[in-house]
Amino acid sequence: MKFRFNMAASIRFLVRRMVRDYSRNINCSVSCQIVRSSCPLNLSACRCFSDNAENKTTHFGFETVPEGEKTERVYKVFESVAQKYDLMNDAMSLGVHRLWKDMLLHVMNPQPGMRLLDVAGGTGDISFRFLDYVRSQEERVARRVAQANQTPSWQEISTSYAAPGQEEVEPRRSRAIVCDINKEMLKVGQQKADRMGLTSGLSWVVGNAEELPFDDDQFDVYTVAFGIRNVTHIDLALQEAFRVLKPGGRFICLEFSKVANPLLSQLYNAYSFQVIPVLGEVIAGDWKSYQYLVESIRKFPDQETFKGMIEDAGFFSVRYHNLTGGVVAIHSGFKL
- Name the maximum alpha-carbon separation found in the chain: 93
CA distance 210 to 234: 8
Check the annotation: does 123 bind a ligand.
yes
Rounded CA-CA distance 51/66 in Å is 12
180 is in an annotated binding site: yes
17: helix, strand or coil? helix
Residue 190 DSSP symbol: H
- What b-and-e string marks burial along 308-324, b requiring 16 or more CB atoms within 10 Å of the CB? ebbeebbbeebebeebe
CA distance 56 to 24: 14
Q: How far apart are the first and last CA of the chain?
A: 38
Tell whether 142 is in a known binding site: no
Please return the burial class of 199, using the count of CB atoms within 10 Å of its CB with bins 0-12, 13-18 and 19+: exposed
Q: Are 215 and 244 within 8 A, CB to CB? A: yes
C-alpha–C-alpha distance, residues 195 and 198, integer Å:
8
Other Cβ atoms less than 10 A from the Cβ of 113: the count is 13
Binding residues: 123, 180, 208-209
Binding residues for S-adenosyl-L-methionine: 123, 180, 208-209
